[in-house]
């Protein structure tokens, strides 16, 4: 099938395809156009999940969320009923010190616990070990990414699409002018399952990129780069580029028979203070505590000092009582057991969801080997349903939420026709929620297939 030429929508207006689709017009209007308040650009306040939730609220989601299946939210189930998983605290004893301002780099006991966890799981037998000075505690993943961005020097920062939608903010010229770096997106090939090869990293560095940011395991495609390729990538970057590894989904690793092992760049670092590798993770995903907003960054001490200091003017630091409560959760043997239970449970959910989708007639070329996402290809559906936005609209009518793939792409200056996006015939579907929610959501998608669509 030939690829149509790129169409641009600034000078000539949106294409007939866009004009004939209500949901496309709504998307376009939300991301450009009239600004009723002189100092406000509302398009810069919304990521994909937020926009999708706002549209769902228009259909009644906020009034009766229990009647919906939210397969769009990037969060795991948080209940205590996963077999083999430890019970989360239901109350927290707040000490006197917990009433005080905490250090913007995090309290020392938690930083010690995080360093010990990584040394036990990823640095056994290695001369260079993490210490508490290699760890900064931050109030969530986005806050961590913002802190890292704040301390980067004048640099070209490369990242790969499709990927986590918050990375795209750095591409926006106003954001880049506030910070010191210029973000350079690089598309990955669908035919290659969006894989990051070492040769791709070499090409990025050769064209002047000195900072590389990527999620691993990858959101939204559900794929992971593991050794030996991960080690090769780190060897290529060593002494040439700073590597920022978003490892929030590292615990959702199904490539090692769910033995509890976690994929991390920490395995391949030679010297923790000389290798320019920053690792960001936290309690949000693999400990299933997104509401706690406790995350961390590991890296060379000089980086960590700067990242800790800039928290004083960016976010003020992480909630102290929750930091104190997190410490016993990070005992290495306890974490290993937790990861094993997590992997077995989420692999079973993945298999259930993929089985249901295949039975409906969807084509799944590559089964995700990590995360809790499926990058679902809609291209086999008939016109009018085979793009992420129109499929999302049909899902809303069945009280199901997914995230259109277009949110994981870039559209510089909003000039490209939406239908020309390489991500437009995808949606991201999350199997993070509880099984009962997955069944409800898949029942809704099946009704769409039976009532409106005939695949095949």
**Cβ-contact 268, 231 below 8 angstroms:** yes
DSSP 8-state symbol, 139: S
Sheet with 242-246, strands from edge to edge, namely 135-138, 295-298, 277-282, 242-246, 211-215, 155-161, 181-187
434 vs 4, 81, 151, 260, CA distance in Å?
41, 10, 39, 21
Quote the CA–CA distance of 455 and 380 in Å, as a whole number.
7
CA 82 to chain centre: 23
Q: According to the model, what pLDDT value does residue 88 have?
A: 94
Tokens of 28: 């376009």
Q: According to the model, what pLDDT value does residue 366 have?
A: 85
Tokens of 412: 């510089």
Q: Which residue has the tokens 């509302």?
A: 42
Closest CA to 103 of 304, 244, 273: 304
Residues whose CB is less than 8 angstroms from the CB of residue 145 and which lie 6 or more positions away in sequence, other chains included: 166, 167, 246, 280
Closest CA to 322 of 20, 36, 62, 110: 110
CA 108 to chain centre: 28
Quote the CA–CA distance of 80 and 77 in Å, as a whole number.
9
- Which run of H or E residues covers position 430? strand 426-430
Q: According to the model, what pLDDT value does residue 446 have?
A: 96
Closest CA to 328 of 160, 102, 110: 110
Quote the CA–CA distance of 113 and 117 in Å, as a whole number.
6
For the CA atoms of the chain, what is the radius of gyration? 22
Q: Determine the Cα angle at 50 with ends 44 and 54, to 5°.
A: 110
Q: According to the model, what pLDDT value does residue 416 have?
A: 66
Q: Which residue has the tokens 């591409």?
A: 171
Closest CA to 389 of 402, 398, 373, 376: 402
3-class SS of residue 382: coil
Q: Determine the Cα angle at 386 with ends 383 and 387, to 5°.
A: 115
Q: According to the model, what pLDDT value does residue 412 have?
A: 53
CA 225 to chain centre: 15
Q: According to the model, what pLDDT value does residue 417 have?
A: 74
Q: According to the model, what pLDDT value does residue 50 have?
A: 85
- Which run of H or E residues covers position 310? helix 301-314
**Cβ-contact 264, 232 below 8 angstroms:** no
Quote the CA–CA distance of 273 and 141 in Å, as a whole number.
22
Strands of 144-193, DSSP E:
155-161, 181-187
Q: What is the dihedral of CA 393, 395, 401, 404, to 10 degrees?
A: -50
Closest CA to 426 of 372, 363, 367: 363
Q: How many of the other CB atoms lie within 10 Å of CB of 85?
A: 18
State phi, psi for 426 to the nearest 5 degrees: -125, 155
Q: According to the model, what pLDDT value does residue 256 have?
A: 95
The residues of the chain scoring below 70 in pLDDT are 1-14, 19, 25-36, 38-47, 165-180, 411-416, 453-456
In this prediction the pTM is 0.89
């Amino acid at each position: 099938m030939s690829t149509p030429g790129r169409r641009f929508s600034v000078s000539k207006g949106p294409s007939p395809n866009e004009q004939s689709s209500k949901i496309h017009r709504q998307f376009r209007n939300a991301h450009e156009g009239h600004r009723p308040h002189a100092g406000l650009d509302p398009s810069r306040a919304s990521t994909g999940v937020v926009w999708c939730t706002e549209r769902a609220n228009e259909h009644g989601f906020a009034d009766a969320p229990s009647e919906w299946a939210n397969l769009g939210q990037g969060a795991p189930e948080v209940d205590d009923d996963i077999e083999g998983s430890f019970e989360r605290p239901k109350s927290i004893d707040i000490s006197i010190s917990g009433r005080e301002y905490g250090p913007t780099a995090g309290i020392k006991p938690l930083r010690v616990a995080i360093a010990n966890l990584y040394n036990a799981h990823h640095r056994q037998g290695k001369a260079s070990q993490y210490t508490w000075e290699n760890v900064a505690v931050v109030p969530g993943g986005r806050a961590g990414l913002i802190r890292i961005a704040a301390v980067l020097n004048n640099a070209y920062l490369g990242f790969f699409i499709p990927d986590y939608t918050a990375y795209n903010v750095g591409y926006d010229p106003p954001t880049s002018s506030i910070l010191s770096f210029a973000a350079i997106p690089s598309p990955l090939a669908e035919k290659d399952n969006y894989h990051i090869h070492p040769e791709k990293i070499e090409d990025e560095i050769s064209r002047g990129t000195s900072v590389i940011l990527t999620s691993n395991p990858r959101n939204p495609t559900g794929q992971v780069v593991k050794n030996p390729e991960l080690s090769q990538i780190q060897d290529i970057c060593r002494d040439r580029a700073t590597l920022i590894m978003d490892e929030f989904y590292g615990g959702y690793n199904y490539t090692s028979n769910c033995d509890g092992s976690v994929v991390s760049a920490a395995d391949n670092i030679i010297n923790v203070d000389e290798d320019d590798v920053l690792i960001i993770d936290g309690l949000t995903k693999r400990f299933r505590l997104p509401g706690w907003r406790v995350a961390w960054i590991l890296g060379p001490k000089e980086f960590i000092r700067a990242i800790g200091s800039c928290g004083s003017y960016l976010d003020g630091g992480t909630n102290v009582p929750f930091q104190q409560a997190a410490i016993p959760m990070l005992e290495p043997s306890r974490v290993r057991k937790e990861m094993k239970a997590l992997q077995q449970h989420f692999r079973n959910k993945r298999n259930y969801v993929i089985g249901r989708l295949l039975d409906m007639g969807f084509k799944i070329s590559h089964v995700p080997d990590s995360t809790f996402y499926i990058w679902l290809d809609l291209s086999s559906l008939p016109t009018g349903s085979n793009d992420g936005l129109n499929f999302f609209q049909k899902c809303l009518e069945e009280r199901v939420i997914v995230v259109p793939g277009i949110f994981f792409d870039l559209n510089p200056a909003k000039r490209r026709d939406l239908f020309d996006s390489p991500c437009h015939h995808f949606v991201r579907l999350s199997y993070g929620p509880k099984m009962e929610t997955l069944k409800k959501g898949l029942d809704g998608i099946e009704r769409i297939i039976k009532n409106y669509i005939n695949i095949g």
